[in-house]
Amino acid sequence: MATYDVELTRKGPGIMLRDITRDDPQVVAITQVVTHLSPDVLFLQGVDYDAELLGAKALRDHFASKGQNYPHLFALPPNTGIPTGLDMNGDGRMHTSADGQSYGKFRGASGMMVLSRWPFEEATDFSALLWRDLPEATLPEVNGLPFPSKEAQAIQRLSSTGHWVLPILHPDGPLTLLLFAAGPPVFDGSEDQNGLRNADEIRLWSHVLDGKLGAPPAPPLVLMGGANLDPQKGEGRREAILGLLTDPRLQDPLAAAGPTVDWREPTPGDLRVDYVLPSADLKVSDAGVFWPKPGETGHEQLSVKDIKASRHHMVWVDIDF
């Protein structure tokens, strides 16, 4: 099983689809990584969503053209770019990319999708959950007043992209995926709007496992995706990710694996922000971050014509049933 933020989002709708059909070097490099590692279940972030899943299907077909077949595809609309008609970041303007339910240059930008060898059952989607309705939510304030406004907080969803609970019908028994891509805890002011939201996006999973948002998913399960938060370095409220990593219901087979993303310019550098956390009852036989250095086997898969597949690297876990 693997999670991979491919950073394929483009500046406008349909452009990602165009680039896939034209064998864009980044698409080719991503395909090289996917076919090299060949995960049975692959969770992708940073892919643009369209209503007919044309972009998602084109990417799946690109993988298939290189021998990596996924019969089953799942995607839902992300919260990115959904217009609100309000000033959602407190800059005094409306109708900008930052004034949607989540930042997005267009509706559907930088969404999520799942590819699998095995079929899915019906998903539970928490993406429409209002931030204020999360148990123990911490909403931003300035001088004791809701930031950016009472009206904005009344409609603000928690998920920057999405939170999905997606069961998979594996031949050896059902397996439930907990999937998300949290927003960055930076690019805000002293009110720490993005930092607070990022932390609560991560904390949502503890509430899901506790049964505070409906019946808890039954193990075995695997929580994976992009938390946008390192437990030791960079900005953000580290206690949120540390709480998830130390939850006794989960295991962290990659605790010593190091960073998963190369954010060297500008700072903060290499961080661990992508995670695959199987439930404690699962047997993990191997795990890793695919980041071979120059001269190591597989390094040539990471780029084409000096264009990187992504600044993020695939995080994978092998599970024995």
pLDDT tier for residue 40 given thresholds of 50, 70 and 90? very high
pLDDT at 321: 84
pLDDT at 258: 86
The CATH number for 2-320, chosen from 1.20.1290.10, 3.90.870.40, 3.60.10.10, 3.30.2130.30, is: 3.60.10.10
- pLDDT tens profile 171-191: 999 999 999 999 999 999 999
Q: What is the mean pLDDT of residues 251-273?
A: 88
* % of the chain with per-residue pLDDT over 90: 96
pLDDT at 138: 97
pLDDT at 118: 98
Amino acid type, 31: T
- pLDDT tens profile 41-67: 999 999 999 999 999 999 999 999 999
> What is the chain's mean pLDDT, rounded?
96
Q: What is the mean pLDDT of residues 297-313?
A: 95
Q: What is the mean pLDDT of residues 122-144?
A: 97
pLDDT at 267: 66
Q: Answer yes or no: is pLDDT of 90 > 90.
A: yes
Q: Answer yes or no: is pLDDT of 79 > 80.
A: yes
pLDDT tier for residue 268 given thresholds of 50, 70 and 90? confident
pLDDT at 266: 61
Domain boundaries, the chain: 2-320
